[in-house]
Amino acid sequence: MANKDFVYGIAKVTFADFVIGYIEKGSWDWGGKKPEAVDVEAEQVPDAPVLTLLQKNGQIEPTFNIIQLNYENIQKVLGGTCVGTKPNYTGWNAPSALVENTGKCIIDFVSGQTLTIPAATLLGNLGGKLTLTEVSKLECQLKVNKPATGAPYTITNTTASSGS
């Protein structure tokens, strides 16, 4: 049984109701930005600020690599079109116009929690090296956007309906 005092391990990543393929081991990084604040200094108080004005909360901005490069995974991340018919696609065509890939993102952790981002933008590109010792990958960045209502992201105990 998982210990809910720790968050670890990726069980499943879902973006816009599509389960993304294998994530490269060790590639997930929360990234993001630390909280921002401005200190107000006073001449009479030389050793510390007299007030700290908060400017912005901390943010996450995960980066990760998808290594399962079937044509459907490529299309869901990079846009464009799959060639052939599902489930037997025979190729992929890159997009000819700007791709805006937005939707809800759900990350189920092995440790028994689920992170939900109601409004996210997924950016990706074909990357890695083309060698006989490693695989090519989709290098991804997940931007957390402000949802219409509620928190920008939540972490809750995983329920049976969210799967993992």
Residue 164 has pLDDT above 50, yes or no: no
Q: How many CA atoms lie within 13 A of 61 on its CB side?
A: 11
Rounded to whole angstroms, what are the CA distances from 8 to 5, 18, 78, 107? Answer: 10, 22, 27, 11
Rounded to whole angstroms, what are the CA distances from 90 to 51, 85, 86, 125? Answer: 62, 8, 9, 20
Q: pLDDT tens digit string along 59-82? A: 999 999 999 999 999 999 999 999
pLDDT band at 161 (very low <50, low <70, confident <90, very high): low
pLDDT of residue 163: 46
**159 or 105, which is more confident?**
105
Q: pLDDT tens digit string along 79-111? A: 999 999 999 999 999 999 999 999 999 999 999
pTM: 0.86
Residue 18 has pLDDT above 70, yes or no: yes
Residue 160 has pLDDT above 70, yes or no: no
